[in-house]
Structure 1
């Protein structure tokens, strides 16, 4: 646990399920306020938020976008203790990112940590990838990250605040992955963006003598046992083949990724880290047939 996180506010894109949900839980357990962004999984988003808002326990969200507004109103009725709100927004658009920022300001007074987690992957032999599928993946995995990071840096500079941007990249930001060309390219580029922004805006700390800090980092997970991957790993042969490529001999857990996010969110723990990507892949990126002296 990191004491400096308590009371801070985070926005997490794509937080209703998977890694985003795990990060939201960890941040909430750290005592943070969280804006839970979702695209279509409204039920999961509300169920998660309700666990941290006494006034909204038992509130169901199944009827569309208007219901998420009703959830937030219900959660806030007590006037004390609201910790999580849910917001439907398209993070590929400037309007969607502004909606998330406005929600954080309206409910919690501002933003301290912005997690660009939303992502999409579509498998296809590269020569059969449609332009529509290519654009979808670049839009979510790269353009959405750019808009969110750019807007948060603007917000920090204009309001003389510190800002911590965390980008969910992938081990495929440095490992090519056949039949996932658009996904791989988007992750390579997203990590390059993180490196660029970390270098470009590190000067803010120096100019302010450390009173204002803008940090931008990435997390690059390998094989993680998310709900989507659980379905894939139900195929025993696929699972065993995946594990055979991981030196540590297992797939990772969502909580393990969330712990890295908490580490990066904490200035006490990682205040001297910016412009970098942390691999959490069990050694996948460095495993090869030469690992045991073969070849």
Structure 2
């Protein structure tokens, strides 16, 4: 097997187990000989996980490929620790061929250690020893001379030299504990390296369990709320917290109430440990230097706003304490982690995955603190060192390499009737433009199918909702805020139609259509507006009305009347909600036959009978009566929705956009 194949397989095994390392944390490498395509002779290469990749999903494309002779020759030109950042640019001159992925800051660690295979990981048990106040002594007690202690040093070329020296001078050693940071292991073969990594993690875990004291976080002072009350409290808190966390830039939220979190926020040591912050660079780069801690249950909105304002000032003071003239500008002072005794944890990020991963990293940090407190006292790296990494020029450069966000990035959309037809097309389009989407439908199976079509739960979740039920709508909005922190964009699309002459239209026909569309849209808009107002981030409400809202056709009194009701709701709510930055607009489609749930459920047959054409030709019939002679598809309606909410029409509200290929009788006046 090629060294690169062994490396990818080993990396995936290690990365698949969260006990070994966190998402996108750590890196692995393999050295081996390949044929130089220029000389035809052998060349010794290093394959190492590139910057920003994840071990659990690593592929060969995620590896940087460097010539070992050139990489190790950098030792001779190393200008010293004060200028070690210059060495990162030098890695580019060591690349082999196109070089693969961008080399990470840890490349020196892998290239300078004289072992063919090296793993650098962030296991909770290893970091617990690395952050214990008497970490060096505990490491010796735990491992003897098989695993050695390396004092904290910021990742870089000098840390690679330090680890290489330990490997050179201690032939019996299989790895090191990196103070405040993690572990590094090595081996002559890929199998030996992996076994050594797992031995370090297993030995540290067993040591903490055997040596540690019970209840390292102290006594319980705040019991968790029962789950129904806990989730109700979280749903009530989430919009306000998301709005505050988005003071500097819009964020998506994630809620966690795992046993580890609930136990940590319940204990007496919460305030002390939370104030110390996380230690491993991978942790605090995502969780910020420390979390915001709220009173039990969350407190009042006024208390929350005051605590948020104090957090922002404390963060700004942290920046001022450590910034130098060449430091990057402060990126934002809002918390990434909010801890609420009795309720759980909220985490925030530019998208759902980033928010979720931030929460996962803080759970890692909780495990680290528990281990360190069980055998010693938790002592993370100094605040000044955290700042040096958080505002590292190299970290700033990594952020600058990120692709530009899509138009709806960080926005959360809820689409009613999203399980089929026009709603499905709208949900797919909004997700394609970067939104997180809540697919709401009375057919939960259909909602599940569309959400799965969009992607995983970081981008779409299904909810079961009957829009005639106030309780069901409230539950759907609660599900949305628990999934993504809030709601920014609501599309009132749920609908049905019954085509009958006036004398055959029953009161039940009338009530059903008005309950679903007129009343349902009102209820959805009302509950969504509550969330948007609480967030304080503005928002969009879009009604999928109809050409029939303004066009008078035969055998259509109930449907036309309820669509006219929806159309006027747009105007009324635009006037009322504009002061909160909430825009309300509508789309008036016509003749959407192909892919339409309404037409497929009987409306198509009824309208075909009215016009005296075969149902299979109804779409073409509608097209021929339009000015443009074009058939309207669900995707065309979705295009109009995106045009209204995508950012270019930021000053437009109360508008109805016709999507009917041109029906003169339905022109708006």
For the criterion TM > 0.5, the same-fold answer is yes
Instruction: Identify if the C-alpha distance between structure 1 residues 144 and 2 changes in structure 2 by more than 3 Å, giving closer, same or farther.
Output: farther
- Name the residue aligned to 2:473: 97
Q: Which residue of 2 aligns with 1:250?
A: 630
1:275 is aligned to 2:654: yes
1:112-151 matches, within 5 Å, as: 112-151=488-527
Counterpart for residue 259 of structure 1: 639
Q: In 2, Cα distance between the equivalents of 1:145 and 1:183?
A: 14
Residues 107, 138 of structure 1: alpha-carbon distance in 2 compared, 3 angstrom cutoff: same
SS at match of 2:454: coil
**Counterpart check, 1:49 vs 2:451:** yes
TM-superposition CA deviations, 1:105-128 (whole Å, max 9, x none): 111111010111000100111111
Paired with 2:451 and 2:539, the residues of 1 have a C-alpha distance of 24
Residue 200 of structure 1, CA deviation: 2.2
Work out which of the residue numbers 190, 193, 204 in structure 1 matches 2:569: 193
Q: Does the 8 Å CA contact 2:551/2:666 hold for their aligned counterparts?
A: no
Instruction: Report what 1:155 is aligned to.
Output: 531
Mapped contact 1:246–1:287 kept (Cα < 8 A): no
| Aligned-partner Cα distance in 1 for 2:454–2:488 | 19
Where in structure 2 are there 5+ consecutive unaligned residues?
1-403, 609-613
Structure 1: 5+ residue stretches without partners:
55-74, 76-81, 205-212, 289-295
* Partner residue, 1:284: 663
Partner of 2:437: 34
How far apart, CA to CA, are the structure 2 residues paired with 1:2 and 1:245?
41
- The alpha-carbon deviation at position 45 of structure 1 amounts to 2.2
- The alpha-carbon deviation at position 242 of structure 1 amounts to 2.4
Post-superposition offset of 1:239:
4.4
- Higher RCO by CA contacts (8 Å cutoff, separation 6 or greater): 1
SS at match of 1:269: coil
Q: Give the whole-Å Cα distance in 2 for the aligned partners of 1:2 and 1:254.
A: 26
- Counterpart CA distance in 2 for 1:105 and 1:236 is 42
Contact 1:171 1:285 in 2 (8 A): no
Structure 1 runs of 4+ aligned residues shifted over 6 Å read: none
Q: Describe the SS at the equivalent of 2:652.
A: coil
How far residue 263 of structure 1 moved from its aligned partner, in angstroms, is 1.5
Go from structure 1 to structure 2 and tell me whether the alpha carbon gap of 1:18 and 1:203 turns closer, same or farther (over 3 Å shift).
same
Q: How far apart in 2 are the matches of 1:123 and 1:178?
A: 9
Contact map agreement 1:175 1:285 (CA 8 A) in 2: no
**Deviation string, structure 1 residues 197-219 (Cα, Å, up to 9, x no partner):** 11222233xxxxxxxx1100000
Cα distance change on mapping 1:45 and 1:156 into 2, 3 Å:
closer
TM-score, normalised on structure 1?
0.79
- 2:419 is matched with 16
| 1:182-221 matches, cutoff 5 A | 182-204=558-580, 213-221=581-589
Aligned length: 252
Shift in Å, 1:175? 0.2
The 2-side partners of 1:137 and 1:252 are apart by 23
Matching residue of 1:225:
593
Normalized against structure 2, the TM-score is what? 0.36
Q: Once the 2 structures are TM-superposed, how far is the Cα of residue 236 of structure 1 from its aligned partner?
A: 5.3
- Name the SS for the 2:648 alignment partner: helix
- Greater gyration radius: 2
Question: Kindly tell me: are residues 34 and 179 of structure 1, through their superposed partners in 2, closer, same or farther at Cα, counting changes over 3 Å?
Answer: same
Deviates more, 1:194-203 or 1:29-38: 194-203
2:471 match: secondary structure: helix
2:551·2:665 contact (CA, 8 Å) conserved in 1? no
Tell me if the contact between 1:223 and 1:251 (Cα under 8 Å) persists in the aligned partners: yes
Whether contact under 8 Å (2:413, 2:487) holds in the other structure is yes
Equivalent pair of 1:217/1:277 in contact (CA under 8 Å): yes
Q: Is the 8 A contact 2:586 2:655 kept in 1?
A: yes
Flag the 1:214–1:183 CA change in 2: closer, same or farther, 3 A: same
* SS class of match (1:176): coil
Counterpart CA distance in 1 for 2:666 and 2:435 is 37
SS at match of 1:179: coil
Provide closer, same or farther for how the CA distance between residues 220 and 34 of structure 1 changes in structure 2, counting only shifts above 3 A: same
The whole-number CA distance in structure 2 between the counterparts of 1:92 and 1:264 is 26
